[in-house]
Amino acid sequence: MLSLSVNNSPRTQQLNDEAGWKVIETNFKKSELHHKETVFTLGNGYLGVRGSFEEGYIHEHAGTIINGIYDDVAIAATEIVNCPNWLPLTIKVAGETFRMDSGEILEYKRQLDMRLGILSRDVRWKSPAGHTLDLHFERFVSLASQHFLAIHCEITSHDYAGEVEVTAGFEAEPHTLGIEHWQTVKEGGTDKIIWLHSKTLHSGIELGMAAKLKLENEADSFAREFECSAELTKCFDIKPGETKTVEKIVTVYTSRETSTPAEIALIDLVEAPSYSTLLATHIAAWERVWLDSDVIIEGDEKAQQSVRYNIFQILAATPRHDDKVSIPPKTLSGFEYRGHIFWDTEIFILPLLTFTQPALARNLLNYRYHTLPGARRKAQELGYKGAMFAWESATTGDEVTPKWVPDPNGKLVRIWCGDLEIHINADIAYASWNYWQNTGDNQWMCDYGAEMILDTANFWESRVSWNEQRQSYDILNVIGPDENHEQVDNNAFTNLMVQWHLNTVAKLWEWLTKNHPEKATQLAVKLNINPQKLENFAFIGNNIYLNQDSETGLIEQFDGFYDLEYVNFDDYEPRSKSMQGILGVEETQARQILKQPDVLMLFYMMRDRFDLETMTANWDYYTLRTDHVYGSSLGPAINAIIACDLNQTGEAYTHFMRAALVDLDNVRSNANQGIHAASAGGVWQALVFGFAGIRISENGIITAHPNLPSHWKRLKFRLQWQDRWYQVDLNADGGDENKEVEIIPTPTPIISTSSQTFTSESSPGIEGIIFDLDGVITDTSEFHYLAWKKLADEEGIPFDREANEALRGIPRRESLMGILNGRPATEEQIQDMMERKNNYYIELMQSITPKDLLPGAAELLEELQAAGIKIALGSSSKNARTVIERLGIADKFVAIADGYSVTKSKPAPDLFLFAAEKLGVTPQNCIVVEDATAGIEAGLAAGMKVVGLGPKERVGKAHVVLPSLERVTWKDLQQHLANYKQQVEQIKAKI
């Protein structure tokens, strides 16, 4: 049975609760230390943290890698740097320091929970003196608040009674592959906080980091300052059977985000919520991401786990708030390739994001736009026109591929990729075009994409050579994706990608001149685009040389490839390294040994151009000549797709698992260097475009051509195409299911209420509704009151329910100021009181269940979601996400705006404007539902329709006033707003 469906709601797929979400290690092996540091990497797009131990380990390769932080280096020009290490947390028991290489490890388990984005470790340790303790470590890098990092540690004694000492600090000046990049500007500490202010040695990028260490249920703390560092230490007594908990919260900023990173890090840390609150918002953020990007495989636990792992690492490395950085080939998990940006991002990673997280895909393409000046400089320096994107790019887009590198014997070897691997120009144009086609993001194409596609086309006009004898254009002296062969002529991949690029320009220009004539005029002047040039682009594209046998369909990878010596790989088995590693660079270049098959890559990227016979002939020829296991990690996933197209499912599965397990199982013996990002992105493509066989026609018809492995029972995932969500659910009953199935969009949902029916089109102007939380969806005011009451009693301040009523809808700090009513308090005391109140509130909040939903709230949310109305939460509470999770309604919200989202709280309109932006809805097409005066004023200031719940004296300024949401339907809201509009029109008429 094959089941495919489309749903307009972006939050309808529920996460699978079955196995496949965790990567678990139960036996620590020193020999696998660096491999597992890669495997257990965490990230949030802003930074990545390798999976080293909090207490450290001899010869570890710890890494905190912040995207975009480069510093000058010899040979490679610039490299992404290892930033100060925030992890250090040491534990001393009776004066002996816990380490994995000290004492005896009785039990061990390390676990990456991909669903929650949490890394944990459980160790039963017997100290050298014979004391036995259980240690539980848990850490995360916040996906919800990218500048926050946190560690939670539980220490349980089995047989030890005495003092335990826990110390938190920073490693201020780590090296990067042996190279120093940091100088400490200043560091220090108070009795509660330590901080670090650092600066890169050459690029001058500043970094600020701050940390606090908290012992559960104990207020005493102190800092011990040393000559070169500052640390926080907690000392406490423990006895057998007792558990003590410490938490380290860290904030980090750089001068890429703010001119005063150390100051901002300190301010954020002082105002930081508790560990539990940070964790709750982090988990909620990952839950929302997985709702759109998860892939479910039933019948193959190993494939399920590895697929989620690859997706997790891509999502963890993708920048969310910065479009001037991209994803390095080792993500933010390692330093190989110096953190430079390659074609890996556009061709292998971008499709996953385009179809499940399009806003993030746009960020990555914007990075290329911001580097256009560097691409133009490169073209000019080499004597060409237009823009020539760097093969290796960093901050500016200037070429940073080293020209010479020393071999193991110290002899300098010329590296030609930066000069000759020019297919990247067409790769970026291809990615830009496909992002536009699949998202319908016309504004992006007008503002950014068009200029990139056109100016890189200008480059090709100056790079091709006319061959008088063949009456065609050659592209000479290049390197294709198969880097085993350098300085070749007419590389098939490069030539056909250029042909596609130049033939696409006409379609783009026609659209641009028709829909954005002012932009077209601007670009025509800036890039010298004119009718003659457009004709020349088309002529070149139609006459680029391709050596293809007309009878067999076989395509020569480049001029002279057929003349090279054939090698039988079986003659070299068994082996543990690439053929190039065995034979050497020159010997490999003289043979038919492919690092990756360029021609087969074309069949995927231009899959509608070639027939089955041509694909088969080339598959049979080039597959035998490809170093699949130790060549390029970019090849296996693409080979899996081609094998599916050829109905060779078993072969496809072999290639697929080779890609899927490249890091988890260290297939290539180099996972210690970092995640294989391109392979990870390719794994998703192999599932969607290979085994599911998804194809999208030019007119938007989406079809599946499923070819599932025989042991797979189900393959399920979601795709977003031009703002519509498609759910693909393939179930194999054991038969041959390789047939075309069209995905038919369902009609607009119709909701039945009372005796009438209506659709969301009944109110075409309203696209989103933003709900306040307290007093609208649930009533946590009693919890707030009890928490404030407990604090006020502790401080000896009179406080009752009447005083609490004045705090409705007011943020925490303003509420506290009202309670203090002029009573003097230092900033430290204020922060302490806010933290205490929040902890009391969180404790009380644990009792919340779906039963605490206010009457009518659940029904209305369900109805709105089914009607295709986008729903957001707009609450000043910093605990809002946790509350809706406990209420069981988190899946109803497309966006959440809470106390962490904006600086100015209600009655400023910022919170609701933020929510509308996240919904992708203009303010005038939003409804706000509020119960507080400040919220009503905020909604009105935002230019939204406002529904007030409660007495008129409190919410009377709203457009519509209702007592509550009980028995309120979507139709009722529309009718109330229509009545209001009619009243306004009547008043206007009288005037």
71: part of which helix (H) or strand (E)? strand 70-73
Alpha-carbon span 939 to 908, nearest angstrom: 9
Q: Can you say whether the dihedral through the CA atoms of 345, 346, 349, 353 is positive or negative?
A: positive
The conformation of residue 58, written as its DSSP 8-state character, comes to: T
The secondary structure of 761-796 as a DSSP string is GGSTT--EEEE-SBTTTB--HHHHHHHHHHHHHHHT
Q: Is 350 helix (H, G, I), strand (E, B) or coil?
A: helix
Please, what is the Cα angle at 562 between 559 and 565, to 5 degrees? 125
Task: Tell me which residues are annotated as active site.
Answer: 483
Backbone angles phi, psi at 668, to 5 degrees: -100, 5
CA distance 212 to 223: 10
811 residue type, one letter: P
Q: Which residues pair with 79 in a beta bridge?
A: 71
166 - beta bridge partners?
A: 91, 234
Helix%, strand%, coil% for the chain, nearest 5: 40, 25, 40
Dihedral over Cα of 933, 937, 940, 942: its sign? negative
Tokens of 284: 């909620």
Residue 156, strand partner residues: 134, 243
List the beta strands (DSSP E) in 778-882.
Answer: 870-874
How is residue 232 written in tokens? 């926080």
Characterise 657 by phi-psi region: left (phi > 0), alpha (psi -120 to 50), beta (else).
alpha
Helix (H) or strand (E) run with residue 847 in it: none
The token duo for 199 is 């600066």
Instruction: Tell me, letter by letter, the H, E, C secondary structure of 609-648.
Output: CCCHHHHHHHHHHHHCCECCCCCCCCHHHHHHHHHHHCCC
Angle between helix 358-370 and helix 450-463 axes, rounded to 10 deg: 50
Q: Which helix (H) or strand (E) holds 673?
A: none
Whether residue 14 contacts residue 894, with contact meaning beta carbons closer than 8 Å, is answered with: no
The 8-class DSSP code of residue 83 comes to: P
Q: Which residue has the tokens 């995932």?
A: 717
- Residue 937 · residue 810 · CB < 8 Å: no
Half-sphere exposure (Cβ direction) of 435: Cα atoms closer than 13 Å: 35
From residue 313, alpha-carbon distances to 121, 367, 499, 556 in Å are 19, 20, 34, 36
Q: In this structure, how many other beta carbons lie within 10 angstroms of the beta carbon of residue 248?
A: 24
End-to-end Cα, the chain, rounded Å:
65
Q: Are 150 and 140 in contact (CB under 8 A)?
A: yes
Alpha-carbon distance values, 102 to 56, 92, 125 (Å): 12, 12, 9
H/E run at residue 654: helix 649-660
